[in-house]
Chains A and B, each alone.
Chain A
């Protein structure tokens, strides 16, 4: 028998315990083959059976060797609770059970001497989400009738691009009493108020990325829903850069500039402009931290697209040479504007923070009218890889911060000039239309979402510590992995279909929310349509308190 020492890891120290019922097991081996984390293994157990056959005790013993499935006692190959084993087991013989007594956070640090890294989003659930304390409470009735969600037409579009104050519009009236514009104005694209937000081709498997791109194209071309997808930092396949579908893509640049070599080279061959450029300064899931792609995921095609060797890829926490907001405005925006001949709007993405309003104020006052969007990402945003301490403990909730930015714009009479896009845990409960709608009524022009898109495709990770292993490259759903065997688990067409269907459902739900408040275009800033049962939420967001 093995000798156990006090500090040896046992299953009881791990976040999940694998429950296995040998009596039901057919020994097919499916679970072991399926578990991408090698968190279960086939073992042979030595069994000793003592028995007595006669009328008097005459103990005999029999030994046998029994094949079983066991959980290794390791902090490296530990069960993530993904449930794939359970899914494939023909006899319900195995399943992960959450271990409430886990010592994993302590043991891992003690043994590794390194911080814990994982994917997913914040896993510390405090109380009910703010958005769930808000309802659409101003219902049109009688003299101000509701609309009919089925019959009326709704303008479900949001701007991406810098919008001029009315007095700056370069208009002159001609002899026919028509306004003529005599100068060009900053480019603005009107798009669906939900952007599929920025997950890179390195963080996602190529099949998942393709599924999202496919869904985006289908929603545009077949369903007439002008959804845009943001590439994330990490480049875009050249074939897509040169295709007509580029117009549905927002290209992201972050501090690592990964992939931009290829994008720049492809520019002369582009037949369409991209939908926009998003400069990522920060990210809600790990504010103040740069991107992180673990070497395990830097497969050959990723090396090619990004132009890098196989190594941990870290984007610095800061854009080099970006010391001030003014500088960011002038340098980055101007170079992108120039690169795309002032035809493509350029926006900025920052992590929500106690300082977001001052950053926003600076941008909104910029006299050159350059910044074409303020993407604000809250603490509940997801990520492919981050230090757990950042995920759980740094960041700022999105709801009040978005509201603050909107009200700052109102104070200056500049609402709408830099479109506000919000993210960070929206759709966490599965209902993105409701979350997005409430954010819009609080002042957002639109929202962006990433984690939920993965969940549509089959990601089983959640905010209670399930899976969240996107950093390992071993995604059991084939979504955030570059391992061919794992990536092939994901059927891109099926994933694309799920995404398309979700958007179709969401589109109907948007109308079901707009109709009762009697609005046919998005009620941006219509906070009078919202009520809250929570006094402090109502006060903080300046909406009506109800009880």
Chain B
């Protein structure tokens, strides 16, 4: 089973906090991996927020292939950072030869393109890289997006932290939002792409649970958008639905809940907006999820939210102080990094609500 967590702070935060948040919950998962997405970057990336950063794990050949593609597309590298690895013997990590975090300037012909055009081009480039590196597992391309970094690896989260020197906080590698999950294992194989958080065009999602409507979701999603692919994990469907509802359909975020866990028909009948809710339930019937799960999502504007299945079979807790809001599968994780908070303000969301944290750290509880 997965454990998930997210930190959103006014201050730049080092991933060591995310490791601590997850470490205390280690009895709840199988210690088979660690993955995180950092957004709203500080440290060495702070100056380059408007430019896309590539997050990739690959072989030497993989680097060459990827750089050729990017070069040909007209991207120019402006920053390169590779974590200093501590490859001490005995660490439980299934490391790739290289971890690449590189920031690029846009190709000349794209500089005056609209935001939307740039975003679509970034997606297409990432997909091209992904395909090119697929053969012989030359590399895994997790994100290629401004102000976002993704790191995923197979192994024991504690050792992964040691390997990447992430236990020691520093000023160089920080972000205001970090989402993290421990467990690489899907219900099937151990696959790098199967680890959440998943990322697509500014949207991040991670989940703890099972999506028993996976097949329905997948069969529907794969025709909706070229970016909806992979499906290595049933939780990817949560991301694609989020992206579809918010970006493709342009609906306000709270409708996400109505899509994934629609109200029972009897309840819809009682509502003033029944016409809309029924239409949503009908047209997006194949995006409904079933089974136990909690979702944490992140939007391009750094809005963070969480919601769970319609029976609250998977819980989640939100704790906060003045500076930071933390979401976690288990409250012990929050106790670890916000020990002095007023725990009476902790929120245990119910099955029919969405808790949203905007960029001013204002927490809104929205009832479905």
Contact (Cβ within 8 A) A166 B254: no
Contact (Cβ within 8 A) B214 A528: yes
The chain A residue sitting closest to B272, CB to CB, is A178
12 extra A-B contacts, CB within 8 A, seeds A157-B265, A518-B212? A155-B264, A159-B282, A159-B285, A164-B282, A171-B251, A171-B276, A173-B250, A179-B255, A190-B265, A416-B285, A526-B213, A526-B215
Contact residues, A499-547 vs B (CB, 8 A): 517-521, 523-528
Q: Report the Cα distance A139→B32, complex, angstroms.
A: 25
- Nearest CB on B from A155, distance (A): 5
Residue B216 lies at the interface, judged by CB distance under 8 Å to chain A: yes
- Nearest CB on A from B252, distance (A): 4
On whether A144 and B282 interact (CB within 8 A), knowing A155-B265, A410-B219, the answer reads no
Q: Report the Cα distance A147→B265, complex, angstroms.
A: 19
Contact (Cβ within 8 A) A164 B251: no
Residues of chain A with a CB closer than 8 A to B251's CB: 171, 173, 179
Residue B290 lies at the interface, judged by CB distance under 8 Å to chain A: yes
Q: Report the Cα distance A523→B222, complex, angstroms.
A: 19
Contact pattern, B 241-261, Cβ under 8 Å of A = 1, otherwise 0: 000100011111011000000
Residues of chain B with a CB closer than 8 A to A524's CB: 216, 285-286
- Nearest CB on A from B339, distance (A): 30
Of the listed residues A152, A412, A524, the one surrounded by the most CB atoms of chain B closer than 10 A to its CB is A524
Q: Report the Cα distance A155→B252, complex, angstroms.
A: 26
Q: Report the Cα distance A167→B286, complex, angstroms.
A: 14
17 pairs, CB–CB < 8 Å, chain A vs chain B: A143-B1, A143-B209, A155-B265, A166-B249, A169-B279, A171-B251, A173-B250, A177-B252, A178-B252, A415-B220, A416-B285, A519-B212, A520-B290, A520-B311, A523-B213, A524-B286, A525-B219
The chain A residue sitting closest to B254, CB to CB, is A177
- Nearest CB on B from A292, distance (A): 38
**CB within 8 A of B283: which of A164, A178, A526, A527?**
A164
Q: Report the Cα distance A411→B286, complex, angstroms.
A: 14
Q: Report the Cα distance A115→B262, complex, angstroms.
A: 55
Residues of chain B with a CB closer than 8 A to A188's CB: 278, 282
Contact residues, B41-72 vs A (CB, 8 A): none
The chain B residue sitting closest to A163, CB to CB, is B282
* Chain B residues close to A by CB (< 8 Å): 1, 209-210, 212-216, 219-220, 222-224, 244, 248-252, 254-255, 262, 264-265, 273, 275-276, 278-280, 282-286, 288, 290-292, 310-311, 313
On whether A145 and B288 interact (CB within 8 A), knowing A159-B282, A179-B252, A526-B213, the answer reads no
Residue A102 lies at the interface, judged by CB distance under 8 Å to chain B: no
Contact pattern, A 138-152, Cβ under 8 Å of B = 1, otherwise 0: 001001110100001
Residues of chain A with a CB closer than 8 A to B276's CB: 171, 178-181
* Chain A residues close to B by CB (< 8 Å): 140, 143-145, 147, 152-153, 155, 157, 159, 163-167, 169, 171, 173, 177-181, 185, 188, 190, 410-413, 415-416, 517-521, 523-528
Contact (Cβ within 8 A) B219 A415: yes
Residues of chain B with a CB closer than 8 A to A157's CB: 265
Residues of chain A with a CB closer than 8 A to B264's CB: 153, 155
Contact (Cβ within 8 A) A152 B311: yes
Q: Report the Cα distance A188→B222, complex, angstroms.
A: 26
The chain B residue sitting closest to A167, CB to CB, is B249
Interface residues of B, dominant DSSP? loop
Residues of chain A with a CB closer than 8 A to B311's CB: 147, 152, 520
Residues of chain A with a CB closer than 8 A to B265's CB: 155, 157, 190
**CB within 8 A of A517: which of B212, B244, B262?**
B212
Q: Report the Cα distance A410→B216, complex, angstroms.
A: 9
Contact (Cβ within 8 A) B292 A145: yes
Residues of chain A with a CB closer than 8 A to B288's CB: 521
Contact (Cβ within 8 A) A518 B285: no
Residues of chain A with a CB closer than 8 A to B223's CB: 410-413
- Nearest CB on B from A235, distance (A): 31
Q: Report the Cα distance A180→B272, complex, angstroms.
A: 11
Residues of chain B with a CB closer than 8 A to A521's CB: 262, 288, 290
Residues of chain A with a CB closer than 8 A to B278's CB: 188, 190
Residues of chain A with a CB closer than 8 A to B283's CB: 163-166, 169, 416
Q: Report the Cα distance A290→B278, complex, angstroms.
A: 38
Contact (Cβ within 8 A) A520 B310: yes
The 5 A-B residue pairs with the shortest CB-CB distance in the complex, in nearest-first order: A413-B223, A144-B210, A177-B252, A528-B215, A166-B283
- Nearest CB on B from A535, distance (A): 21
